[in-house]
Amino acid sequence: MRTAMVVGAGVAGPVAAIALQRAGFAPTVFEAREGAADELGAFLTLQVNGIDALRALGVGHLVTGLGFPTPRMRFRSGSGKALGEVSTGAPLPDGTIGVTLRRSDLYRALRDEARKLGIPIEHGRRFADARPQAGGVRAEFTDGSTASADVLVGADGIRSRVRHVIDPSAAPARYVPVLNIGGYAPPQETGAVPGEYEMVFDKRAFFGYAVAPDGGVWWFANPPQCTEPAPGELAALTTEHWRDRLRALFAGDRTPACAIIDSTPGELVGWATHDLPSVRRWHRDRMIVIGDAAHATSPASGQGASMAIEDAVELGRCLRDLPEPAAAFAAYERLRRARVEQVVASGARSSSSKAAGPVGRVLRDAFLPIVLRRQGAAVAAWLHGHHIDWDTPVTTSVPAGHG
């Protein structure tokens, strides 16, 4: 049986391991962290295309009951003006729609399923380097240990070490000029329809929130910041700093932002936004990167987790049907590159609109309703309607975007 090393146990890693096992490999997942430090407190959206991709592997049930359905997003200006709304994708045939869920819950569900299937996940194994060897690849870890397999899959995130090993001159992640912060507030009156996102372009920052079934408010804010924070700068900021900063940004706007932020218990921690517009090399020898390691998109796209899951499924198909890794990796890149780079570009545009100046805000508020009306259905069909048929064979001549 062929073997595979998967570096990273976030979203892409466990799904890739499951897909590779279905494709006839014996995979092992290596995770740098000692335990399950899964960015507790953060949440994400898993759109219908991501759920559909999980179902292609027979594991769609993993997200059943996690989080809550979020069928649409409503956009408003800070003055309260309605700017339009978009669907988060047409329901799947059984009525399933996209969901918002805690990142830690998704990580845990995917890892637990991998272990249930007998896939080893080794924590405390930080990847350092790799080199080809006869018929495979040999990985080295920072603790001095090594491992070998037929192929190595880098699912180690936006600051991927595997990406650097494949291409030492690869461009670093690009800073997107908005910060991220969010939390969970107790039940309160917000005027929002439960399960639907309210997205508010306030004068000085962007604010989004959704009401969960228990009435709690899941929220996030994107304070603009032109210059990239220095290492450790954001971690040094206190909760009271963030509360004061956010109050000042949203003061005077017609939004419940200040009330939601003030009522949020616990610590507030901010982080910077980065993306990867285009990674020159995804693979070399018997190594390849997927997910955020190959094409990180800003959170504004709402597609980071879904793209990672799609990647993992397609990679499994390619390695199943094209036993020679070079051919499988080339077919995979033809299937994925155009799609994911378009998603990254869309996310960058959305993030930039959150940090618009006075003139930009006027133009955005004037044209956004038109854009949403004209492009909403087409985007939903292309983005959310993407379907991967696990049983369809992959050939060396597969056209880009087919799947």
Is residue 258 one of the residues assigned to a domain? yes
181 and 323 share a domain?
A: no
| Confidence (pLDDT) at 83 | 87
Position 20: which residue type? Answer: L
Say which residue the tokens 């997200």 belong to.
63
Which of 315, 341, 356 is the last residue in one of the domains? Answer: 356
CA angle (17, 282, 122) in 5-degree steps? 30
Whether 122 shows a pLDDT value over 70: the answer reads yes
Helix H or strand E encompassing 371: helix 358-379
Q: How many domains does the chain fold into?
A: 2
Contact 52, 97 (CB under 8 A): no
Same-domain status, 200 and 298: no
Report the 10 Å Cβ neighbour count for 105: 17
182 within a domain of the structure (yes/no):
yes
Domain boundary among 215, 245, 274: 274
pLDDT at 254: 85
Residues 29 and 124 in one domain: yes
Dump pLDDT digits (tens) for 373-390.
666 666 667 888 999 999
**Are residue 169 and residue 34 in the same domain, yes or no?**
yes
Whether 403 shows a pLDDT value over 60: the answer reads no
Reported confidence tier of residue 299, pLDDT bands at 50, 70, 90: confident
Q: Are residues 184 and 284 in the same domain?
A: no
Does 244 fall in a domain? yes
Residue 200 makes CB contacts below 8 A (sequence gap 6+) with: 75, 76, 77, 78, 206, 207, 208, 253, 255, 257
Are residue 196 and residue 269 in the same domain, yes or no? yes
Residue 238 structural domain:
174-274
pLDDT of residue 33: 93
Residue 156, exposed/middle/buried by CB under 10 A (0-12, 13-18, 19+)? buried
- The torsion angles phi and psi of 141, rounded to 5 degrees, stand at -115, 160
Q: Residue 395: pLDDT above 60?
A: yes
Answer yes or no: do 247 and 331 share one domain: no
Write down the pLDDT at residue 312.
98
CATH number at residue 207: 3.30.9.30
pLDDT band of 369, cuts 50, 70, 90? low
On whether both 256 and 331 belong to a single domain, the answer is: no
What is the domain-level CATH number for residue 329?
A: 3.50.50.60
CA distance 303 to 348: 12
Position 350 scores a pLDDT of 75
Out of 255, 274, 293, a domain closes at: 274
Q: Which residue has the higher pLDDT, 365 or 347?
A: 347
Same domain, yes or no, for 237 and 187?
yes
40: pLDDT confidence band, cut at 50, 70 and 90?
Answer: very low
Confidence band for 87, pLDDT divided at 50, 70 and 90: confident
pLDDT at 361: 65
